[in-house]
Structure 1
Amino acid sequence: MNRRLLLLMWIFGHLGNLQAQTPDTEPLLLNTYNQIIAYFPDIHVAGQYVELRRALEGHPFYGTNKMENGMVMISGYPFDGIPLQYDIWDDLLISFSPIFMQKMILNHLKIEKFQLHNGDTFVRKNENPGYYYHNNGFYREVVKGDIGLYCKHAKEKKQESSTIELRRYYNEIQKFFFEIDGKLVPAPRKKKVFELLHLPKKEAKQLLKSKGHKFKKHKEDYLKTLVLLANEKKNGYE
């Protein structure tokens, strides 16, 4: 145990100088770092992950409740093939330690970005004042540009009662945000979106109509189309 700790202390003591490594030593250090992330995630974690039994139907995870390989970006370096699972109830990114044979919580402060097996990419935003579900700050990246579009996924307890039984289950909620001048701005009601993005309403509506996007039925596609148009205009491609 002492030998392992000394090795890990040496490796992570040199990670701050990663940018200064020579072309010969950098791949070796990166490879070692990749192995440490996979096999000793406790170095980067807030502790062991234990899924609480909340007596709710479903699960607290984003998408599937299976852990699958993905990518984690730390200090600008992507590390692929990392087992990942995203708990959106508590906003926790989880990995698995084959050494300790248990799920471990990755330290959100060290994570810049992660990509799940299905290709969905999440980035960490430092703050979103007033938003209850901000938690650790992971938002799904929909559009990256001068104006960004991000979605916050969370789960809450929902219950429905009838004369026969009381049903309790996980209910997923989604909230979209524009990123304007480095700040997250909640996507407003339909009538206010064009004004916020400084888009000519007639042109924007014609584009949306041609794509068949409806605000309520296809909210993500609707907002994505408008953000892409706003970025084109902002960059002079009118």
Structure 2
Amino acid sequence: MNSTPNEMLLQKFVFTFLILFCLLVFGQAQEVSGEVEELYNHTEQIYSTDDLLVNGQIYIPTRTIAKGSPYFGKNKFSEGVVIIKGRQFDGVLLKYNLEDQRLILRAALESGKYVTIVLNSKLVDAFNIGDQEFINADSYFSNSNFSGFYTLVYEGSFVCLVKYKKTFRAVYDTQTPNGSYTEMKSDYFIFENGRLENITKKKALLNHFPIQKKEIKSFIRKHKIQYKKANIFSLHQLMKYCDSISTGK
């Protein structure tokens, strides 16, 4: 649903207020007068230029001194592509928070300064960070009973998806006095006939193709695929093979 002019005006006000609040919180009160003028000058420009792209809220990271990070890849913004309601934005700076499944945009002001925004997940169709592509299940699959961002591995008679995640470990000791984030974990899924099935364990994959179980085992051995640690290319090849022998195509 498109925002009305009054709603957009309110968004502009809230956007500016939140940035000013952040400046005060982080002890930059002495620069506020200059920032006020700049923010009022540029808030209109940000919203009028790419209202769709910046449709979200200010992002304030938490647990910044914990060991590790909640992000996909390195703890830094990477150049990528985001598609919002069918419109593609290239060369944008993105982070993907795996703990809370939020996509974060670093938007540039004309002055060269930046604001960090959590994009509205309901509006994001897909995005790329580096060579990794993510889709929004809500917009990609009509009438599906699952949501969130997934990597699309294979699409044929069924769809194979990967879901990445990290969690915060509230364990405080000499090694992690401020807690820590787990290493990135991945879950594999097959979406078929309107149903999402977890195939993270190799046994689950084999059970999904009971008639072709022996052939699939041979394929995994022949190509030396470490199933749980497989990269996207190897997983794609495996799913393509599973599809071909199960459908006879």
Query: What residue identity is the alignment partner of 2:163?
Result: K
Q: Structure 1's 82 and 188: CA in aligned 2 closer, same or farther, altered over 3 A?
A: closer
The secondary structure found in structure 2 opposite 1:80 is strand
Query: What residue identity is the alignment partner of 2:105?
Result: S
CA contact (8 A) 1:140 1:151 kept: yes
Asked if residue 140 in structure 1 is aligned to residue 148 in structure 2, the reply is no
Aligned to 1:53, which of 37, 53, 63? 63
Asked if residue 177 in structure 1 is aligned to residue 189 in structure 2, the reply is yes
CA contact (8 A) 1:214 1:222 kept: no
The secondary structure found in structure 1 opposite 2:226 is coil
Query: TM-score, normalization: structure 2?
Result: 0.66
Separation in structure 2 between the aligned mates of residue 202 and residue 43 of structure 1, nearest angstrom: 49
Aligned residues: 199
| Aligned counterparts, 1:187-226, within 5 A | 187=199, 189-197=201-209, 199-218=211-230, 223-226=235-238
Query: What residue identity is the alignment partner of 1:193?
Result: L
CA contact (8 A) 1:41 1:95 kept: no
Query: What residue identity is the alignment partner of 2:81?
Result: M
Asked if residue 83 in structure 1 is aligned to residue 96 in structure 2, the reply is no
Q: Structure 1's 77 and 43: CA in aligned 2 closer, same or farther, altered over 3 A?
A: closer
CA contact (8 A) 1:87 1:94 kept: yes
Separation in structure 2 between the aligned mates of residue 232 and residue 210 of structure 1, nearest angstrom: 17
Post-superposition CA distance 1:172-227 (Å, at most 9, x none): 33211111124321116433422313551221122111101233554867754442
Separation in structure 1 between the aligned mates of residue 51 and residue 167 of structure 2, nearest angstrom: 28
Considering only aligned residues, what root-mean-square deviation do their CA atoms show, in Å? 3.3
| Aligned counterparts, 1:1-238, within 5 A | 40=50, 44-53=54-63, 55-99=65-109, 101-116=114-129, 118-126=130-138, 137-158=148-169, 168-171=179-182, 172-187=184-199, 189-197=201-209, 199-218=211-230, 223-233=235-245, 236-237=248-249
Deviation at 1:166, TM superposition (A): 5.0
Post-superposition CA distance 1:89-148 (Å, at most 9, x none): 1111111222272101111111111011x210001113656xxxx6xx011222233322
CA contact (8 A) 2:209 2:246 kept: no
Aligned position for 2:21:
none
Q: Structure 1's 67 and 75: CA in aligned 2 closer, same or farther, altered over 3 A?
A: same
CA contact (8 A) 1:197 1:227 kept: no
Query: What residue identity is the alignment partner of 2:206?
Result: F
List gaps (5 residues or longer) in structure 1.
10-34
Task: Tell me the percent identity.
Answer: 24
List gaps (5 residues or longer) in structure 2.
10-44, 139-143
Deviation at 1:230, TM superposition (A): 2.5
Q: Structure 1's 189 and 222: CA in aligned 2 closer, same or farther, altered over 3 A?
A: farther
Separation in structure 2 between the aligned mates of residue 67 and residue 92 of structure 1, nearest angstrom: 14
Separation in structure 1 between the aligned mates of residue 46 and residue 133 of structure 2, nearest angstrom: 22
Separation in structure 2 between the aligned mates of residue 72 and residue 216 of structure 1, nearest angstrom: 28
Separation in structure 2 between the aligned mates of residue 235 and residue 182 of structure 1, nearest angstrom: 18
Query: TM-score, normalization: structure 1?
Result: 0.69
